[in-house]
Amino acid sequence: MFGLKADWSLDVFERYFTLGDYAGGEARWCPGCGDFAVLNTVHRVLRDAQLPPEKTVAVSGIGCSSRLPHYMGTYGFHGLHGRALPLANGVKARRPDLDVWVATGDGDCFSIGAGPWIHSIRYNMDMVVLVFDNAIYGLTKKQTSPTSPTGMTTNTHPHGAPLPALNPLTVTLGISNVSFVAQVVDWNPPMLYETIRAAHRHRGTSFVRIIQRCPVFSDSFCKPLQEDASRILLLHHEDGIPVDDSVRRLFENQREHDPADWLGAMEIARDSSRVPMGLLYRNPDAVVYEDASARGLDKTNAEKLAAIESALDRFSI
Ligand code: SF4
């Protein structure tokens, strides 16, 4: 294939990947489901980054969104409930050269997967974690999830969810060694694209909570946000998610927020009067587990032997 450079000279690529190279089986979500928007955006980000499909892995747990690996033309692993993150960590530990993408949901990640969620964020392996949050268990037909708002009627709580919803942003921000936390809605294509692209460019675990439409079981979760954009707080900063003018015009509530400011991020995440959209936090200096665990691996056998001898010498009497 041929590619044009800005100076009009020709580059000849050995391979050029099109959207079709990243597509898998026909997606079977309900009409109007926000998962379609995320899937299409992931395909576009992969295409624009020209990631070889054979060097890319999509990993998921259980839930509607966890069907995503089936719809990718990459490698994939549709795992167990709540276990998307440990699987992804395992893939990355064994094959750090692969690009790892995790698709998980609010039930999968924040409930049964809550333990792996905390530790995976702390391990900060280089991967993208997309949490499709529709505030309901959709696949199993409308049970209360950790992010179901108080009062939402579900099949497990027909009189309304009794507890305050878990806040995934404050929890994630509170985990040691957290390095990237963003939030976006599935129905704003430019922000969805830029957020997922920024997540992919960040080195470390990029946690993206996507507020996702489930018109079948939790319409009341997204509808108010779709109908009243003033409920969303658009975050912008030169180091944040790029926001173009077409997006700025849509949201009257905006705030400049430096993603290096952890306390500011926590304050924004705790404020229940608005739903923040954009990059809350990024720390490019957080320890990446692959780097920490690879230290010393490039030593020669003689150097390794000398290091072992020296360690043993400390115990000599
Ligand atoms: Fe999407 Fe909801 Fe249907 Fe699941 S039940 S596919 S989340 S619309």
In a domain, 71, yes or no: yes
Residue pLDDT tens, the chain, 317 long: 445 556 666 666 678 999 999 999 999 999 999 999 999 999 999 999 999 999 999 999 999 999 999 999 999 999 999 999 999 999 999 999 999 999 999 999 999 999 999 999 999 999 999 999 999 999 999 999 999 999 999 999 999 999 999 999 999 999 999 999 999 999 999 999 999 999 999 999 999 999 999 999 999 999 999 999 999 999 999 999 999 999 999 999 999 999 999 999 999 999 999 999 999 999 999 999 999 988 878 888 898 899 889 999 988 87
What is the number of the ligand 1 atom nearest to the C-alpha of 65? Answer: 7
In a domain, 77, yes or no: yes
Whether 101 contacts 128, CB under 8 Å: yes
If you count them, how many residues does the chain have? 317
**Spatial CA neighbour of 196 closest among 315, 287, 103:** 103
* Distance separating alpha carbons of residues 57 and 161, to the nearest angstrom: 36
Domain that holds residue 23: 19-288
Q: Establish whether residue 215 lines the binding site of ligand 1, counting it when its CB lies within 6 angstroms of any ligand atom.
A: yes
**Distance between Cα 12 and ligand 1 center (Å):** 42
Q: Establish whether residue 221 lines the binding site of ligand 1, counting it when its CB lies within 6 angstroms of any ligand atom.
A: no
What pLDDT was estimated at residue 5? 57
**Distance between Cα 64 and ligand 1 center (Å):** 6
In a domain, 215, yes or no: yes
Q: Establish whether residue 145 lines the binding site of ligand 1, counting it when its CB lies within 6 angstroms of any ligand atom.
A: no
Q: Establish whether residue 132 lines the binding site of ligand 1, counting it when its CB lies within 6 angstroms of any ligand atom.
A: no
What is the number of the ligand 1 atom nearest to the C-alpha of 217? Answer: 2
In a domain, 134, yes or no: yes
Domain count for the chain = 1
In a domain, 308, yes or no: no
DSSP the chain: -EEE-TTSPEEE-S----HHHHB-SPP---TT-THHHHHHHHHHHHHHHT--GGGEEEEE-SSSGGGGGGGBSSEEEE--TT-HHHHHHHHHHH-TTSEEEEEEEHHHHHTTTHHHHHHHHHHT-SEEEEEEE-SEETTTTSEE-TTPPTT---SS-TT---SPPP-HHHHHHTSTT--EEEEEETT-HHHHHHHHHHHHHSSSEEEEEEE---TTT-HHHHHHHHH-GGGEEEEE-TTS----HHHHTT-S-EEE--TT-HHHHHHHHH-TTSEEEEEEEE-TTSPPHHHHHHTTTT--HHHHHHHHHHHHHTT--
**Distance between Cα 187 and ligand 1 center (Å):** 15
Check which CATH number belongs to the domain holding 110 and give it.
3.40.50.970
In a domain, 317, yes or no: no
In a domain, 257, yes or no: yes
**Tokens at 15, concatenated:** 């391979």
Residue nearest to atom 2 of ligand 1 (CA): 214
pTM: 0.92
Residue nearest to atom 6 of ligand 1 (CA): 29
What is the number of the ligand 1 atom nearest to the C-alpha of 134? Answer: 7
**Distance between Cα 65 and ligand 1 center (Å):** 8
- Taken in order 292, 124, 55, 200, is the CA torsion positive or negative? negative
In a domain, 131, yes or no: yes
**Distance between Cα 45 and ligand 1 center (Å):** 23
Q: Establish whether residue 30 lines the binding site of ligand 1, counting it when its CB lies within 6 angstroms of any ligand atom.
A: yes
Residue of 26, 217, 220, 222 to test ligand 1 pocket, by largest number of atoms within 8 Å of CB: 217
